[in-house]
Amino acid sequence: MVSRTSRDRRANNTNTPDHSGGYHLDWMFTKHDLANDLPWGREFSLCGRAGSKAENDRKITSNALRIQKTLRDMHWSLIEDIATTGRGMVSKPVLNSFVKLLMPGFLSSYFFIRIILVVYVGAGFYASVGLQDFDIPMKYDHP
């Protein structure tokens, strides 16, 4: 599935290769069947899969960076659409709420899950936090 944010980024960035990140991720919490000309149906989180190998640290790291970048782009795309819908005018309460919108991401590989949170801190800057890394138990007596 290709997200609306990925399509927007591909259309707006002339130097982005066709195989760059964000185009092959599973998107959650969205409604894609709305009209293409409407700004609604935007994504607020994503899930990515780094493969099925037990020791896949390099791919997990590269995919985590891709997820962070895509979450940032998803948030920025949402801000741009709100401003466009308001014809360039954004009320102060809406502007203040941009920093309160948290963008979670989930990355899985084998029985490993990483939870990432991207937050807009203002002035065009974002912060990313790795909330948790954990292994899903494979046996009943697994600690």
How would you class 125 by CB atoms within 10 Å of its CB: exposed for 0-12, middle for 13-18, buried for 19 or more?
A: exposed
With respect to residue 62, please indicate whether it lies within any of the assigned structural domains. yes
With respect to residue 141, please indicate whether it lies within any of the assigned structural domains. no
With respect to residue 65, please indicate whether it lies within any of the assigned structural domains. yes
Rounded to two decimals, what is the model's pTM? 0.68
With respect to residue 117, please indicate whether it lies within any of the assigned structural domains. yes
With respect to residue 123, please indicate whether it lies within any of the assigned structural domains. yes
pLDDT of residue 90: 84
pLDDT of residue 53: 77
Domain that holds residue 36: 4-135
pLDDT of residue 89: 85
- Domain count of the chain? 1
Q: Are 49 and 32 in contact (CB under 8 A)?
A: no
pLDDT of residue 27: 44
